[in-house]
């Protein structure tokens, strides 16, 4: 039985696959741009010239990049039989939601979604092994 655990955040996904007592680790980088909008007052004087920051444009671009990132991960795990998703913040929940909306066959294989802070590769492997041992 092929079991897969994914630890992901906005920048990378670590995919641990357990099959026939063998484990493999694969890393997928997200290609999501970091943006630091510059703007605001161009002067120290109150009421001076202001730059307009188009947050909506950056957020929309980030949303599309996130969707492509999730699509790439889903393509890598399409033949798994059991799936566990880990990660900090809300990226793991966003990924789960994406699977439920656009990859129904994978969403039925989800055995758990848990919060997990940043970890080393070996800690991620241990987390996935422990999760599937206890379930």
Burial status of residue 113 (CB atoms within 10 A of its CB: 0-12, 13-18, 19 or more):
middle
In the predicted structure, residue 2 carries a pLDDT above the cut 60: yes
Place of tokens 């439920």: 100
Alpha helices in the chain (DSSP H): 55-76, 91-102, 104-107, 121-134
Tokens representing 124 are 């991620």
Give 74's pLDDT tier (boundaries 50, 70, 90): very high
In the predicted structure, residue 45 carries a pLDDT above the cut 80: no
In the predicted structure, residue 89 carries a pLDDT above the cut 70: yes
Domains and CATH numbers, the chain: 3-34+52-134 (3.30.420.60)
The reported pTM is: 0.84
């Amino acid at each position: 039985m092929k079991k897969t655990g994914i630890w992901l955040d906005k920048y990378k996904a670590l995919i641990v696959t357990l099959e026939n007592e063998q484990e493999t680790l694969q890393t997928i980088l997200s290609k999501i741009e970091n943006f630091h909008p510059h703007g605001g007052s161009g002067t120290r004087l109150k009421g001076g010239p202001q730059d307009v920051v188009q947050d909506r444009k950056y957020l929309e671009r980030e949303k599309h990049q996130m969707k492509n990132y999730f699509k790439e991960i889903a393509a890598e795990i399409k033949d798994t039989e059991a799936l566990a998703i880990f990660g900090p913040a809300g990226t793991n929940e966003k990924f789960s939601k994406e699977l439920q909306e656009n990859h129904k066959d994978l969403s039925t294989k989800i055995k758990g979604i848990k919060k997990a802070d940043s970890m080393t590769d070996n800690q991620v492997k241990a987390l996935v092994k422990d999760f599937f041992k206890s379930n």
